[in-house]
Amino acid sequence: MTDLWDRRWPECPPFAHRLRDHYPDLRWLYHPYDGGADVIAPTRTERDALKERHRDWLSAHPLGL
């Protein structure tokens, strides 16, 4: 799940580690909200492939917001 797995502070495990404990088969997250959605892929490669396939889903804002 890309950067969610990274351990930035030893005393604070990444959020994805807590999800993995409850949902061991979890590979993707899809989080819809008003005005859009977030998709969290299991690897950077899969994330980049999804982005390439669905460029029309991306924001037109110069910063990608």
**pLDDT for 7-63, tens place per residue?**
555 666 666 677 777 887 888 888 888 888 888 888 889 989 999 999 998 888 888
Q: Is residue 44 part of a domain?
A: yes
Q: Is residue 23 part of a domain?
A: yes
Q: Which residues contact 2 (CB under 8 A, 6 or more apart)?
A: 40, 41, 42, 43, 44, 47
pLDDT at 1 over 50: no
Q: Is residue 62 part of a domain?
A: no
Q: What is the pLDDT of residue 57?
A: 85
pLDDT at 2 over 60: no
Q: What is the pLDDT of residue 53?
A: 95
**How many domains in the chain?**
1
Q: What is the pLDDT of residue 35?
A: 82
Which range of residues forms the domain containing residue 21? 2-57
Q: Is residue 65 part of a domain?
A: no
Q: How, if at all, do strands 36-40 and 29-33 pair?
A: antiparallel
Q: Is residue 63 part of a domain?
A: no
